[in-house]
Amino acid sequence: MYLMLAILGVTIALFIWGKYSPDVVALLSMISLFLFGILDSKEALSGFSNPTVIMIAALFIIGEGLSQTGWTAQAGQKFIQWAGNSFPKLLVILTLGSGFLSGFVSNTGTVATLLPVTISTAWKMGTLPSKVLMPVAFGSNTGGLLTLTGTPPNIIVSNSLTETGMEGFSFFEFSLIGLPLLLIAILYFRYLGHKLLPKNQTNNKPVDIDSTLHDWIESYKIDDDYYRLRIRSLSPLIGTTFSKWDLEGKYNVQVIRLKRRHPSRLKGTRPFVEFPTSEDDMRYHDILTVKGETEDINRLMISFRLGLLPLEPIRDELKHNLINQEVGMTEVLVTPKSILVGRKIKLGTYFKRFGLQLLGASRNGQPHMEKEIIVKPGDGFILRGTWENIGGLKRQHENIVICGSPEGMAKNVENLTRKSYIAMGALVLMILLLVLKIVPGAVAALISAGLVVVTRCIPISKAYKSISWTSVIMIGAMIPMGLALQKTGTAQMIANSLVSILGDIHPIMLLAGVFILTTGFSQVINNSATAVLMAPIAIIAAQSLNISPEPFMIAVAISASTAFLTPVGTTTNAMVMSAGGYKFVDYFKVGAPLLLLFLVVTLILVPVFWPF
C-alpha cells in the first residue's frame, strides 16, 4: 500500500513538474506498477485494451472528418456571427454548446468535434486557443450531467442503486442538478474564469484563405485574365464536346471549370465539371470559367456567341468558385536542385500530366505571362487541382516547395459538399447508436469512423494523423493506476477512514466528504473507475446511517465529473492540453474556483431534489 502511494505521488509530481511529456510520465507510472509487483503484465497493459481508448481514437477521426468536409469552418463562422466581436459572448456560446452536446454525445466526442472549430474561431477573433479551449473541456464535463447517458459515472451510480433493489435514476433526472451546474460554469467563465485562463502561444493557427488569396492575386495577377462566359442559345458549342474545337490550341484560352446551369434536367448530371476534358460536352446556359488574354477572349466570344458574366470581387470569386473540400489551390516554388531547372516547357501542358491546372506564374516577384518558358530557380506557380493531386506533386518532385499548408486551407473552406453530409451523417449515426444502446460506445464510434474513412471524407493516411496519440497513450497508460489503487486496498482504506470520521456529524458533512474524496480520485484516475470505486462505499455509508443513498450517489456522479485540477483526470482535459499549450498548473489555477463552486451548489441543491 505504501509503495502504491509512493508511485502515485511521484507520478503526480512529474505531471506537475512538466519537464517530460504526459504520455511518457504515464508510461513510466504503468511500468513501475509492473516492476514493483503491484500489477501483473496483463493488468499493467489492460488500459490499451480498454474500450475507452479505442473510442477516443475513433472520435478523433470523426472530428477530423467534420473538419475536412467544411462543418468546422461553417460552425466557426456561425460562432463569430453570434459572438460578434465580443469575447465574453464567445465564451458563453462555446461553454453552453459543449455542455449541451455532451448531454447526448460522449464528452470526448464533444471535444473532438468542437476542438478544430474552437481553435479556428479563436484565431479569427484575434485571441489565443488557450483562452477558449479549457471552457470547452470543462463545459463538456459538466454537460455530461444533463442525461443518464451523458457520462459513464451516471450509468454506474444508477446501476448501483438498481443492484441494491432500489429504483435507478430516469434519463433526464440528472438535469435537475446538471442544468444549474452548467449555468454556474457559463457564468464562471463569463465573469471570472476568463481572467485566469493563460495566454499560451501555440503554432496551430489555421490558414487564412482570404489573406492567402489576396497575396496570390497581388503576386501573380490572376485577375488580369480570368473570365466567366455563358453559352447562349445560338452558340455552336451546344451539344458538342471540347475535342471538336480545341479552344486552347486555336484560341489560346484555357477552360478551368464548367458549371451546369440546369443539372437537374438530366438525371445523374453533375452540377460542376471541375476539370473539363476533351470528351465533356457543352449545353445551353452552361458557364465556362476560362483564362486568356483579353483579345483572345473577345475573339472566342464573337466566334461562339458567348455572353460575359460579371465577376464577384476576385478574391471571393476564387474562393467561392474554384476551391472546395475536394479541389484547391496552392503555390509551388522551384528550388535550384529541381529537375525542372533549365528545361523549356509549356507550363499548362506540363502540369496537366499531374491533374493540375496552371492559374499563374511568377519570376523574381513579377507575373510571368509567357506560355512557354525555360524554368529557373525561384520560379513560382499557382496551381489548381484536387487536394490529393496537389499532395502527389510533392511526392513526384522532390525539389519543389509547396508553400503554406494545403491541408490547413482545405479545413477552412466553408462551402459544403456531398461528403460534408456523409460526415455529419456518421456523427448522427453514432449518436443514435449510443442513445438507443444498439451497440457498445466504442463499437458505435468505430462504425462511424469507418464510414468517414470508407467514403473518403478523409483519406486513411490523414485519419491516422488526426489522432492525438499523446492523449491516447496517456489515457491507456493511466487506466491501470485506478486498478492498482483498488487492488492494493489503498482507495478502500482512505474511503473507510473518511466515512468513520464524518458519518456521525451530519449527513451534509458526509455528503461533502464523499464529494471531496471522489473528486480527489477523479483528478488522477478515470472517472468511470472513480465511480465504480466510490458507489458501493457511498451506499454502505448511507445505509449505516439509515438514510437514502440517492443524494450520495448523485454526489458521486457529479464529483466524478469534476476533474478540473489536472490534465490527466479526464480525457477531455488531455485532449485540449497540447492544442492550448496548457501546463499542469493551469488546470489547477482555473479549475480550483470552479470546483469549489460545484461543491457549494451540490451541498445546497442535492438534498432539495433528493432528500436524505
C-alpha cell recorded at residue 208? 487564412
DSSP 515-550: HHHHHHHHTTS-HHHHHHHHHHHHHHHHHHTTS-SH
For residue 308, what are the CA distances in angstroms to 236, 246, 263? 16, 20, 21
Least confident of 247-251, 290-294, 451-455, 464-468: 464-468
Cβ atoms within 10 Å of 246's Cβ, excluding its own: 10
Task: Give pLDDT tens digits for 455-488.
Answer: 988 878 778 877 878 777 877 887 787 678 778 8
Which residues make beta-bridge pairs with 332? Answer: 381, 402
pLDDT at 577 over 80: yes
Q: Assign 571 a pLDDT band (cuts: 50, 70, 90).
A: confident
DSSP state of 549: S
Task: Give pLDDT tens digits for 343-357.
Answer: 887 777 778 888 888
Would you say the CATH fold of 325-411 matches that of 209-320?
yes
* CB contact at 8 A, 53 and 59: no
For residue 464, what are the CA distances in angstroms to 213, 225, 419? 30, 41, 19
Which residues make beta-bridge pairs with 329? Answer: 384
Distance from C-alpha of 573 to C-alpha of 564, rounded to nearest angstrom: 8
What's residue 139's pLDDT?
92
Region 291-310: mean pLDDT is 90
Which three-class secondary structure state does DSSP give residue 277? Answer: coil
Closest CA to 75 of 451, 567, 585, 424: 424
Helical (H) or strand (E) element with 261: none
Distance from C-alpha of 107 to C-alpha of 141, rounded to nearest angstrom: 6
Distance from C-alpha of 379 to C-alpha of 364, rounded to nearest angstrom: 7
For residue 332, what are the CA distances in angstroms to 52, 213, 322, 365, 585? 42, 14, 17, 13, 43
* CB contact at 8 A, 116 and 205: no
For residue 299, what are the CA distances in angstroms to 149, 250, 293, 305, 456? 67, 11, 10, 10, 42
What's residue 72's pLDDT?
63
Cβ atoms within 10 Å of 492's Cβ, excluding its own: 15
C-alpha cell recorded at residue 360? 499563374
| CA–CA–CA angle 133, 134, 138 (5° rounding) | 125
What's residue 488's pLDDT?
85
Residue 526 φ/ψ, nearest 5 degrees: -55, 140
Distance from C-alpha of 372 to C-alpha of 369, rounded to nearest angstrom: 9
Least confident of 452-456, 490-494, 531-535, 570-574: 490-494
Task: Report if pTM > 0.95.
Answer: no
Spell out the residues 6+ positions from residue 10 whose beta carbon is closer than 8 angstroms to its own: 29, 32
Q: Assign 240 a pLDDT band (cuts: 50, 70, 90).
A: very high
Which residues make beta-bridge pairs with 380? Answer: 333, 362
pLDDT at 230 over 90: yes
Q: Assign 302 a pLDDT band (cuts: 50, 70, 90).
A: very high
CATH class of 325-411: alpha beta
Least confident of 23-27, 260-264, 435-439: 260-264
Which range, 138-152, 158-172, 218-232, 281-295, is most confident?
281-295
Distance from C-alpha of 12 to C-alpha of 151, rounded to nearest angstrom: 25
Task: Output 87 or 315, whichever has higher pLDDT.
Answer: 87
What's residue 368's pLDDT?
78
Which amino acid does the sequence have at 359? L
Spell out the residues 6+ positions from residue 241 whose beta carbon is closer than 8 angstroms to its own: 278, 279, 280, 281, 282
What's residue 531's pLDDT?
78
What's residue 75's pLDDT?
67
Task: Give pLDDT tens digits for 402-414.
Answer: 775 555 555 556 5
Sign of CA dihedral 520, 525, 527, 533: negative
pLDDT at 157 over 70: yes
Spell out the residues 6+ positions from residue 396 whose beta carbon is closer than 8 angstroms to its own: 354
Which amino acid does the sequence have at 14? L
What's residue 264's pLDDT?
55
* CB contact at 8 A, 427 and 66: yes
% of residues, the chain, pLDDT over 70? 88
For residue 264, what are the CA distances in angstroms to 1, 77, 302, 309? 72, 30, 29, 22
Going from N- to C-terminal start, the domains of the chain cover: 2-44+71-203+468-609, 209-320, 325-411
C-alpha cell recorded at residue 586? 493551469
Distance between start and end Cα atoms, the chain: 34
Residue 159 φ/ψ, nearest 5 degrees: -65, -35
Task: Output 206 or 276, whichever has higher pLDDT.
Answer: 276
Place of cell 500530366: 353
DSSP state of 309: P
CATH number assigned to the domain covering 209-320: 3.30.70.1450
DSSP state of 193: I
Distance from C-alpha of 544 to C-alpha of 514, rounded to nearest angstrom: 14
For residue 363, what are the CA distances in angstroms to 151, 176, 281? 58, 67, 36
Region 36-46: mean pLDDT is 89
DSSP state of 217: H
Q: How many residues does the chain have?
A: 612
Residue 468 φ/ψ, nearest 5 degrees: -80, 90
Distance from C-alpha of 361 to C-alpha of 154, rounded to nearest angstrom: 61
Closest CA to 515 of 507, 348, 176: 507
What's residue 442's pLDDT?
80
DSSP state of 610: S
Closest CA to 354 of 317, 323, 385: 385
List the helix and strand counts (H, then E) for the chain: 28, 12
